Amino acid sequence: MTNSKHIKEDHEHEACEKEYPFHITKEEDRELRQKAAKAIPSPVISQASFFDEYVQQLMIPPVVMDMARKAENMRLSPWEVAAMRKHLSPFKHHHGKYGLLRKILHLKAKADPSHPPYIRVACTGKSQYDYLAEADGHTQKPPHKDKGDVGSPVVLEIWPAQHYSPIHSHGETTGIVFCLAGQLDVMLYDSLDWNAKKLGLTTLNPGQCAWLSKDTYPVHRVYCPLNGGEGKTGPRFMNSTEEFGASFHVYLNEDETPMMPHDHEEHHDDNEKKISHTRNAFDYIKEKDKTKDKFKTHSDLSWSVLRRVLAETELS
Ligand SMILES: [Fe+2]
């Protein structure tokens, strides 16, 4: 093989490795998918069709199975999906304004350009951008303009195509990530570190459910692999399509999971005091400088507000 061919291949390899969001080659992608498919316990909850699959499912904690069973019939209805698409559209509506969800994406991208934004919708409590729905004439009187509540145990997340989260940890919570619409990739890591070992990569379709606990799969990165239009994803990327994935997340704090084995050891380590154990805050790796930081789990919208907005959206 000639030297120039070597150099060309090295460059191609480097370019491939630098691709957002997972920074892996095609070969690694394939290997990580195989790893996730064979992992024990399985990172995705499903009905086993043979012995080896049963073994993979067996060690999934009962409390997780309970959460997944309660979620299994949930889907977004076609009109909800159509209205969400309209509010995610990269084009202004006929009255010259962007849809509510696109407006929030612009605000979030401005506040944190280190990764393409996604939208957290709290199913309980108040949220940061509820007031924007009022500006669009959708709600009568959202009473607050503050950052809203933290730590909703149930959250709907809207992932515009090609947008992704940083690597983050769910601390000591136990929970599920249930795909409601579109498609979502979930990369699992063995620790909260930019260079953490990747445990596996899995794609969730509607009705499929991933899970996590403090000991198993608590660190991940989520990405919507659907068509985001022109350009490659990465910092400052904003997609130019209406495509999205949606997921329903449930997080229980340790004292809310009586069926989980409890670790009663006290946390003596000074460093550990800085680590979030409940869903009020999650630790994550900043995309910009690859260091750890804390994300207080404020949400962008409240479900009661978004549902009203969706219901009042004209669908042509
Ligand atoms: Fe997460």
Ligand 1 centroid to 294 CA: how many Å? 13
Task: Tell me what pLDDT residue 278 has.
Answer: 84
Ligand 1 centroid to 235 CA: how many Å? 19
Answer whether residue 17 is part of any domain.
Answer: no
- In three-state secondary structure terms, 63 is helix
Q: Please give the tally of structural domains in the chain.
A: 1
Task: Tell me what pLDDT residue 264 has.
Answer: 45
Ligand 1 centroid to 54 CA: how many Å? 26
Answer whether residue 4 is part of any domain.
Answer: no
Nearest 5 degrees, angle CA 130-CA 88-CA 209?
85
Answer whether residue 38 is part of any domain.
Answer: no
Write out the residue range of the structural domain in which residue 113 sits.
61-311
| pLDDT tens, position by position, 132-171 | 987 777 766 655 667 777 778 899 999 999 999 999 999 9
Ligand 1 centroid to 221 CA: how many Å? 7
Task: Tell me what pLDDT residue 153 has.
Answer: 87
CA distances (Å), 131 to each of 87, 100, 166, 311, 314, in order? Answer: 16, 11, 26, 17, 20
Which pair of tokens denotes residue 150?
A: 């933290």
Residue given tokens 């068509």 in the structure block: 227
Q: Are 65 and 292 in contact (CB under 8 A)?
A: no
Ligand 1 centroid to 95 CA: how many Å? 36
Q: Which helix (H) or strand (E) is 70 found in, with range?
A: helix 62-71
Task: Tell me what pLDDT residue 222 has.
Answer: 98
Answer whether residue 29 is part of any domain.
Answer: no
Peptide bond into 160 cis (omega under 30): no
Ligand 1 centroid to 305 CA: how many Å? 23
- In three-state secondary structure terms, 181 is strand
* Residues in the chain with pLDDT values less than 70: 1-18, 139-145, 258-275
Answer whether residue 73 is part of any domain.
Answer: yes
Of 201, 219, 205, 195, give the one whose Cα is nearest residue 31: 201
Answer whether residue 19 is part of any domain.
Answer: no
Task: Tell me what pLDDT residue 268 has.
Answer: 43
Task: Tell me what pLDDT residue 70 has.
Answer: 95
Cα 6 from Cα 15, distance rounded (Å): 14
Ligand 1 centroid to 149 CA: how many Å? 18
Ligand 1 centroid to 258 CA: how many Å? 22
Ligand 1 centroid to 143 CA: how many Å? 29
Answer whether residue 1 is part of any domain.
Answer: no
Q: Are 309 and 136 in contact (CB under 8 A)?
A: yes
Peptide bond into 41 cis (omega under 30): yes
Of 217, 223, 219, give the one whose Cα is nearest residue 193: 219
Q: What's 255's domain CATH number?
A: 2.60.120.10
